[in-house]
Structure 1
Amino acid sequence: MSAQEHSTSHILQSLVVNLTIAATKAVAAVFTGSGAMLAEALHSAADCLNQLFLLIGVKQAKRKPDASHPLGYGRATYFWSFLVALMLFTGGGVFSIYEGLHKIGEPEPVTRVWLGIAILGFSLALEGYSTYSNIRELHQRRGSTPFWQYLRTTKDADLVVVFGENSAAVLGLAFALAALVLAAVTGDGRWDGIGSLLIGLVLVAVAIFLATEVKSLLLGESADPVVAEAVQRVVAETHELDRVLSLITLQQGPGEVLVAVKLAFAYKLDIDAACATINAFESRLRQLRPEVRWCFVEPDIPRISSSRAVESGAVHETASGNRP
């Protein structure tokens, strides 16, 4: 199963969870009059729109290359993921901060606290399960890479966005639950406003993190270092090749990498042999790294005194132009 198919399943799961939670939170906000609950309802509603954005991005990224976009539409995922970060910042974070400051300045008593606690507990269980599933998927993909390092370096922007949303939701629900209980126990409605303010700050922080990570991919980020390592490995395994002179890798989308490499040959070959060597290099590279969708190879003149050519007994020209 492709990376995009994995991500789509998690997006759909999060969408179903957030639709359910947004509806229950909205009902609780109406009956309790809690600002923190209202902030959480709006947060979940914004998350639903965010998941729709991600689904659009994944669908557009699957479009085949055409004359106007010869390298395909893989970066569409990054564009829509960046919009999600903006939505999380404005639709969730800024409004929650505003609502929290308003409730602190003009506190109102909360009512039907039991209903709010029950719904928040239910929502926390759903969001917790969704976040657990997301983390399990991240663990499967990261391999031996440390978890937080993987979040910073992975090219699966949609998976990271879903993780950021789910984590913010779990933390926000915990704040909302604590604020509602404190407001009820103390009779001070300002605790409810403080809860909404904290939720807003969490959303803003997550949105800034996501925007920063996705921006790098949107502008054009190099592929994972394992791709460059694979290039070096194939060159080392190929008798006709001497070394890599220059290498550019570019992440074009989830599971789509472009490689442009300049290679020095170990000794001189005719055009047919050189083409066969390049084709074999590309085939072996794609065997090691299937995500390499485009590979452009520029051959360079061989090193006259290549030790590899001498050791192998290959025929090559000397500096004087005579053959041994």
Structure 2
Amino acid sequence: MKLLTTAFAAIAAIITAGAALADDYPNRPITWVVPFSPGGITDSGARTVAKVLGERLGQPVVIENKPGAGGIVGAEYVANAKPDGYTFLYASNGAVVTYPFLYKKLTFDPKTAFIPVHGMSSSPMLVVVRADAPYKTFDEMVAYAKKNPEKINYFTVGQGSAQHLLGELIQKEAGIKLTQIPYKGSAPALTDLLAGTIDMMLDYQSVMAPHIEAGKLRALGVSSDKRLAGMPEVKTLAEQGYPGAVFTAWSTIVLPAGTPQPIVDKLADAFAKTFADPEMIKYFADRGSNMMPGLAKEKLAAFFEDERVKTKAIIERAGIQPE
């Protein structure tokens, strides 16, 4: 009986300590690790959200860019960070779902290294080339690629990234061979696309729209199952005869494993309120992104599991082999 009483007392002490931590959290600036280079859509989106989130929490949320290996460098950093709520990760498809299927050796297991906090947004990708490219439509690009195998090169942020998976699906669906060129983020890739160093980008409306509107780039298709509201003239790849090339990239927030639950709850609640802010709703809508309201904690964990099943099927269909 005495042992049981002691055990209950210990549990109560842990719960009380966790609650006390949450009451005092945050009492200093928080670091939001973005695993891609500055200047891209990920970075600019995080900075916009960080401003509103910081106001909600009463402390600055500081963006720290840690690019490299398609997001693995930043994910490793957060996986090994102190689990106190002061470091969290901008986690996209690759870091929390895809990479275990593509790399035989990772220094972290996404299933155990992170605690799901809240979903951010999901977005399809545009297939974009320069306006002076020798192909004016997606079918013309496919015809060119068939005559010139591997000559068309395209941007990704690394093996297993959203761009890479969509690129593999396009190659499989169209029966063509492209060449993947990895970058640390979309900003340097866009510079190279405009300069003619690379031939094609698979990226988001918010990144590409200004250059398409300026007549510098041309959109050949979009990877969604329906046309974008902001660019209704751009046909989906599915309606152009490539139904297997439907793919949506997404972004979420995760904390290091071991973070006290009261802190997880408080941060998830702050993100929920941030994403309900009219300024945030407009920001994402203007960029062709769909928000993920209510997708937090246990529901986000279930979403990850569903995505793992879907991603494994995509990788197998595309014939990608783990490295």
| TM-score normalized by the length of structure 1 | 0.25
User: Which structure: greater strand fraction?
Assistant: 2
User: Which structure: greater helix fraction?
Assistant: 1
Which of these two proteins has the greater Rg computed from alpha carbons?
1
Q: Which structure is richer in relative contact order (CA contacts within 8 A, separation 6 or more)? A: 2
